[in-house]
Homo-oligomer: A and B are copies of this chain.
Amino acid sequence: MVLMRTHIGQVLRGARISQKRTLREVAKAARVSLGYLSEVERGQKEASSELLNSICLALNLSLSNVISSVAHQIYLEEAPQLTVVDTNAA
């Protein structure tokens, strides 16, 4: 099942890693606990809208950019899988 929180977590984690920042640094900047941020990144917890804003701010990302990336990732996961058709099959 395609879950929004999975993709939000992946986008936030990707941004943090590309900025070479630790969970501890970003959690402190966002004023959330390290455990909370870790669970959000792993898609195990739904981020509240307020804390999502705090995390985006800590990562210097606009919320619209993050949500736009999430929409794109979901779109790719929703897209029908390519089916390999074996034309030699009886």
Contacts and interface: CB of A to CB of B under 8 A. Distances in A.
Number of copies of chain A assembled together: 2
Residue among A1, A46, A64, A75 with the highest chain B CB neighbour number at 10 A: A64
* Interface residue SS majority, chain A: helix
Nearest to A7: B67
B68 A75 contact: yes
Interface residues of A, number: 23
Interface in A19-78: 46, 48-50, 52-53, 62-64, 67-68, 70-72, 74-75, 78
Given A4-B67, A63-B78, 7 more contacts: A3-B49, A4-B63, A6-B49, A46-B49, A64-B74, A67-B71, A68-B72
